[in-house]
Amino acid sequence: MARKSTFTRDDILRAALAVIARDGFDTVTARRVGEELGASTAPVYSNFGSMEVLTRGALELASDQLLAYFRRPWTDEPFLNMGLGYLHFAHEHPNLFKALYFERHGDFDIEARLVPALLADLDAHPWLGDLPRPIKEELLFQASVYSHGLATLICTGQWRNPDLTQATTWLHSVGGLLVRAAVEAAGWPPCPDLDLRFGEFTIPWRIQPDPLRGDGDDV
């Protein structure tokens, strides 16, 4: 197949994103992006004035991918899908997750890109959408504290061989508690179907200790 001679900005952004996903944010250079394209560095610099502009564009593309994960129908409950999308993205794209949350990259602000979109999704939720905006903002923040902790354990390898089925149970349980707190803060009457939507709260214990062995597996 003949080598492509003309590359668009989208081609170059996708190449930069591929380098980040495979090798990490710090490895992105014009030469590496050119190699990913099968070209020299010329298309990179002719389409982008600097590497800072290119990497920012690649991070914006990564954040769009993360938002798509938040919106996947992992379950029938859209609010829980946000947390589940977070964990699946961290598991499937650890270097992109690290690039978005752990690296220094100028004035790029992942929260400024994602939070308004997620609040708009909560506004459209069939029943949480009627919560007052400050309560929705607090609900989203509290949920992100828990899900970000799990996602960080996953993407950094601190949780070896993560069990996303178990993590889903934890998110269901903690998410249900947070929704109950939000409903109470709004002065709403208890929702009779909360247990059906989120399940009863269970302590997110990783393992039932073996009394004969006297210990348990580490994360």
Q: What are the extents of the domains in the chain? A: 61-198
Pairwise CA distance, residues 107 & 42, whole Å:
26
The position carrying tokens 């993205």 is 89
In the prediction, which pLDDT does 215 show? 53
- In tens, the pLDDT along 142-166 reads 999 999 999 999 999 998 889 898 8
How much is the CA Rg of the chain, to the nearest whole Å? 21
> Which amino acid does the sequence have at 198?
F
In the prediction, which pLDDT does 6 show? 85
Q: What is the pTM of this model?
A: 0.86
Alpha helix (H) residue ranges in the chain: 9-23, 30-37, 42-47, 51-70, 78-92, 94-101, 110-123, 133-155, 164-185, 194-198
Q: What is the pLDDT along the chain (219 residues), one digit of tens a residue?
A: 345 558 999 999 999 999 999 999 999 999 999 999 999 999 999 999 899 999 999 999 999 999 999 999 999 899 999 999 999 999 999 999 999 999 877 788 999 999 999 999 999 998 899 999 999 999 999 999 999 999 999 999 998 889 898 888 889 888 888 998 999 899 988 776 666 666 666 666 666 555 555 555 554
In the prediction, which pLDDT does 1 show? 37
